Amino acid sequence: MERTISAQDRFEVQQNYRRYLKYQDQYETAFDRLKTSKASRVWLAALVALLFSFASEFFLGAAAALFGLYFYRIAKSWYDSFQVDEGREEVLRWFSGKGLKFEGRILYFRDDQMLESPLDPFAEEIYN
């Protein structure tokens, strides 16, 4: 039996598909920024400045500023990725309510366990 999507949902499926792809791109970018922020070696410079802070208050301030910069970058990246993930999850819930699911960037019917027949939301034959 061929599965189809209601023709009334056509516009919403296509718009939400575009929205999901946009969120997916933003999510990947934000997640990469988060990984880059965590991998930053600014904390090493802050640690070195902290070692010299015993001799000078300037180095104590510099260490605090560098630690602040490091944790600010991580917090901002995490917040941005969290915001994008919320939007992406909302679109995924909408598709789940319609009996569809995503595997990466490819759309399938939810009961397609083997992922044999990907859907193209812009093809005419999937709408009844």
pLDDT of res. 60: 95
pTM above 0.85, yes or no: no
User: Which residue bears the tokens 């301030």?
Assistant: 61
What is the per-residue pLDDT for 2? 65
Picking from 3, 6, 15, the residue whose alpha carbon sits closest to that of residue 94 is 15
The pLDDT averaged over each successive group of 10 residues in the chain (128 residues) is 83 96 96 95 94 92 96 97 95 95 93 91 91
d(CA 49, CA 63): 5
Predicted confidence (pLDDT) per residue in 44-72, tens digit = 999 999 999 988 999 999 999 999 999 99
